Chains A and B, each alone.
Chain A
């Protein structure tokens, strides 16, 4: 942590900027800051949104003035220490059926990167990722960092409909779509895991700070686990 900055985000929120680049080493600081905010703000806390380098802190202006909230955050930051234990995160496995029928950008990656399909799969599944943030949609985890050999930009034109469970890649990040939604990431395969379920205790399969491994499975295993094999069409347009 260098020199944390507090930036106003309206009448009821401050954005704490802790870092200026994406790094796994940020996580213990961000997790510790979440913890400390929960304790210090108590009832006056409305919501926390951690992301790669920042934490958005929304509070009740009925209970704290903007300057009181700022002072509280300044005090927390003065003696903030990274919480390695709390931010170790759980290790989670996401089984993936890597197949061109459900991951049409596999072929593009092979062609563009000069790799075989097995190499693409090996590189994607051979690395442990960290969940840096959840957002875009409930339970959608932004995970990094993908091996530079697979680094690839978003599609120029997003798909109107990406099937639930789609495992995808954009830049040096990877994720899986919790439910059907529009999306511009490159699809590599599909997981049978339910990534978001409001009736489940922690709702989101992934939590910020988790460590994630993708595990390649075959079609039979995918179907046995309840996966949906409905194919998805490749995007026609050329990428800009």
Chain B
């Protein structure tokens, strides 16, 4: 592939953290390599949907704004997820829509208005050399991203994509109103109760599902700490075991930690259960100080809900409408 076939977005200002993400890195967790992937799978999927992209197309995850990108040719893009005061050549640009960034014009992200992470898709997805089967950027492990070394975008970097694919293929696709989430609202997070739930005291189990939890300042792509009443478990710690996406661990201090995409592969604290993928997406958009509730949900219902949410996106390209 020569650079002539590629379109480019130039990074004029990098912002705190912007990384390429595809659905994640799989099949290598037994080597200790984390999953990675979009912290908000929901917004990631809708951004690709708007452009008619394949489900797994790589998207730019923009954390907390501060980023400016300049198009080196007319480029069709889609923006979903957080409202980070995006503007196109100075004009405000709301999320949940596709748009064209004209050659030489700047797309600028400012301060967060609602949510934490915005997803910017390009027709055909961003290009990069996959590392261990994925483009997903995991800074802690130094893997993936636009240069393959786990570095987030830096000023002067270039993001590349297939030039031909820069045209819109999504046509008039829209994101339904009920899927455009206002992340400022208090969130209710569905949790499938897990193996050690019986080892928590009855009072703790009650508290877990009947209190407002506060999102702590300790929140990143590895996990989100929740503060509130102390949860007591008869098991202080356990032998380390594999941790699924959304696992809610409770260390001895009684304050739960929900583990997200960049979590360590194994860990040894008792678990209340596992947040659904949709709940992980929602939690990943919460600012420190925001209130969340945990709501227990039966496994079969949670799985059916997940399939309903994501099956349309994950269908093979040929069968998509």
Which A residues contact B (CB, under 8 angstroms)? 5, 7-13, 15, 17, 21-22, 34, 46-56, 58, 61-62, 65-67, 133-142, 179, 181, 196, 198, 203-204, 207-208
Query: If the complex has contacts A9-B247, A61-B307, A138-B32, are A46 and B27 also in contact, measured as CB distance less than 8 A?
Result: yes
Give chain A residues whose Cβ lies under 8 Å from the Cβ of B30. Answer: 34, 47-50, 134, 208
Which of A53, A141, A181, A207 touches B241 (beta carbons < 8 Å)? A53
B265 in contact (CB, < 8 A): yes
Contact between A10 and B239, CB atoms less than 8 A apart: no
How many residues belonging to B are interface residues under a CB distance threshold of 8 Å?
Answer: 45
Give chain A residues whose Cβ lies under 8 Å from the Cβ of B300. Answer: 65-67
Contact between B143 and A54, CB atoms less than 8 A apart: no
**Per-residue 0/1 for B234-265: is the Cβ within 8 Å of any A Cβ (1 yes, 0 no)?**
00000111111111000000000000000011
Q: Which partner residue on chain A sits nearest B265 by CB separation?
A: A135
Which of A8, A15, A55, A196 touches B299 (beta carbons < 8 Å)? A8
A48-B29, A203-B132 given; name 8 further pairs at CB < 8 Å: A11-B299, A15-B244, A46-B26, A49-B241, A51-B242, A56-B243, A58-B244, A139-B32
Query: If the complex has contacts A7-B195, A8-B195, A15-B241, are A138 and B307 also in contact, measured as CB distance less than 8 A?
Result: no
Q: Which partner residue on chain B sits nearest A140 by CB separation?
A: B32
Give chain B residues whose Cβ lies under 8 Å from the Cβ of A13. Answer: 244, 274
Give chain A residues whose Cβ lies under 8 Å from the Cβ of B266. Answer: 49, 51, 133, 135-136
Q: Which 6 pairs of residues, A with B, have the shortest CB-CB distance?
A: A56-B242, A49-B242, A10-B274, A7-B195, A135-B266, A134-B32
**Per-residue 0/1 for B10-37: is the Cβ within 8 Å of any A Cβ (1 yes, 0 no)?**
0000000000000000111111111100
Give chain A residues whose Cβ lies under 8 Å from the Cβ of B241. Answer: 15, 17, 49, 51-54, 56
Give chain A residues whose Cβ lies under 8 Å from the Cβ of B143. Answer: 138, 198
Q: Which partner residue on chain B sits nearest A195 by CB separation?
A: B32
Contact between B240 and A49, CB atoms less than 8 A apart: no
CA of A54 to CA of B267 in the docked complex: distance in angstroms?
Answer: 12
CB distance from B239 to the nearest CB of A (A): 5
CA of A141 to CA of B277 in the docked complex: distance in angstroms?
Answer: 29
**Per-residue 0/1 for B121-151: is the Cβ within 8 Å of any A Cβ (1 yes, 0 no)?**
0000000000110000000111100000000
Give chain B residues whose Cβ lies under 8 Å from the Cβ of A21. Answer: 239
Which of A11, A62, A181 touches B302 (beta carbons < 8 Å)? A11
Contact between A65 and B303, CB atoms less than 8 A apart: yes
Residue pairs across A and B with Cβ atoms less than 8 A apart, 11 shown, are A11-B276, A13-B244, A47-B26, A51-B266, A52-B239, A54-B242, A58-B26, A61-B306, A61-B307, A62-B307, A135-B267
CA of A12 to CA of B245 in the docked complex: distance in angstroms?
Answer: 9
Give chain B residues whose Cβ lies under 8 Å from the Cβ of A65. Answer: 300, 303
Query: If the complex has contacts A8-B194, A8-B195, A204-B31, are A61 and B264 also in contact, measured as CB distance less than 8 A?
Result: no
B314 in contact (CB, < 8 A): yes
